[in-house]
Structure 1
Amino acid sequence: MDRQFSDRVEAGRVLAAHLEHLKDRSDLLVLGLPRGGVPVAKEVASALGAPLDVLVVRKLGAPGQPELAIGAIASGGVQVLSRDLIEQLHVSASRLATEIEKQLKELDRRERQYRGDRPFPDLEGKTLLVIDDGLATGSTMEAAVRALRQHEPRAIIVAVPVAPSHVSSSLLSAADEFIAVERPQSFMAVGQFYRRFDQTSDEEVREILAAHTHSGE
């Protein structure tokens, strides 16, 4: 029977136990993907003695197929486009510009909501530990990794409590390391591996980031 985490806090603590080799590294920065990845990332950052921040990623959806990513934008002003896919789907420049503008507005809103006046951290030369509460297709996380590459970090490590077994190959090609506590063969949704899987609010994300920053962790 597949494991169930009681909630995101327990999932973060279990995940942290699999990441002890990263403890007290001076170049480590933990990045949580909002919303649900932030409570998990908070537990990991606390256990590893690392700073915590948030990485907002917005997929650029193909016209009529919003789940199909033709690119992504992310915190720090990064934009990644899948030029081959855009050409293959005959996405016009105007349609692409409209989608970018739409997602930029949402990204900016979330950035202000979560980070306030704090600037986006310098990622160059850092070891980035990127965390979510689980992966379904892995497409958003893959977009996040490709966006983070633009900042020239030392390494990018993706870590999650649960991901389907088939996800690892694509992420391993994008990230330097991929760690998942559970990799079930049978996978319907991330929520099936949690007994409590309430939606994380923008307010919770902001409070977690503010508390971690002020605690000096």
Structure 2
Amino acid sequence: MVIRFRNRTEAGQMLAQHLTAYANRENVLVLGLPRGGVPVAFEVAKALNAPLDVCIVRKLGVPGQKELAMGAIASGGIGVLNYDVISTLGIDKEAVQVVAAEELQELQRRERTYRSNAPPLNVKDKTVILIDDGIATGSTIRAAIAILKKHQPTTIVVAVPVAPASTYEELQSEVDEIVCLQTPELLSAIGLWYEDFSQTTDEEVQEILDFRF
């Protein structure tokens, strides 16, 4: 049955119903990918009685093909590079550094805006539920997974309202569990699966995170 979500709040509430096994557990953290993943993650964290944080990751897009990731960076100087993509496309070190510098500026801006200089939650030895409002190409969620693995959580669970069937299947081998409410063969655009897919603002993300900070 095809479901269109009213908004991100409803999507989060529906997602939470499939994650009840993680409710009221001390070692569980819920991480939302800003910006659109944060309101979804908020509903899940509330339902599971789990701490909420943002997973601020910036994908390093290939010059001229920004949706294709050649790596990613995150807070604390953590970074990963996809050497297969870099080598295959013949991308030189200087080009990687230029893109990384640009994305670092946006990452630092989001850190200041969302966290007000508060440190991120420690995910080491924790069960992390990573949430977005949907997966299109999969490059951003994969970047987040790669970064998270460097912080050594015990378990990584990806939970999203909608993702292409092919990406859903591929991610099953990359994380411990993936929960997805809709897996169409052809996704087209995430917004088509929502009645209200208005852009989440920095201010809305701040308001959601205020209860923690």
Whether the aligned pair in 2 keeps the contact of 1:57 and 1:107 (CA below 8 Å) is yes
**Matches of 2:29 and 2:75, distance apart in 1:** 14
- DSSP 3-state at the match of 1:31: strand
Whether the aligned pair in 1 keeps the contact of 2:67 and 2:139 (CA below 8 Å) is no
> How many Å apart are 1:11 and its aligned residue?
0.5
List structure 1 segments (4+ residues) > 6 angstroms apart after TM superposition: none
Identity of aligned residues (%): 51
Report the counterpart of residue 145 of structure 2 in structure 1: 145
Report the counterpart of residue 13 of structure 1 in structure 2: 13
Instruction: Determine if the alignment matches structure 1 residue 164 to structure 2 residue 164.
Output: yes
Q: Deviations over 1:37-87 (max 9, x none)?
A: 000000000000000000111111112211111001123432010112211
In the alignment, structure 2 segments of 5+ residues that lack a partner are none
Alignment of 1:1-217 (within 5 A): 2-211=2-211, 213=212
In the alignment, structure 1 segments of 5+ residues that lack a partner are none
Question: TM-score under structure 2 normalisation?
Answer: 0.96
Q: Which amino acid aligns with 2:100?
A: I
- DSSP 3-state at the match of 2:143: helix
> How many Å apart are 1:205 and its aligned residue?
0.3
Whether the aligned pair in 2 keeps the contact of 1:55 and 1:75 (CA below 8 Å) is no
Q: Deviations over 1:76-113 (max 9, x none)?
A: 43201011221121111111111111111110101111
Question: TM-score under structure 1 normalisation?
Answer: 0.95
Q: Which amino acid aligns with 2:163?
A: A
**Matches of 1:168 and 1:85, distance apart in 2:** 21
Q: CA RMSD in A?
A: 1.2
Cα gap change, 1:155 to 1:76, in 2 (>3 Å) = farther
Whether the aligned pair in 2 keeps the contact of 1:2 and 1:193 (CA below 8 Å) is no
- DSSP 3-state at the match of 2:172: helix
Number of matched pairs: 213
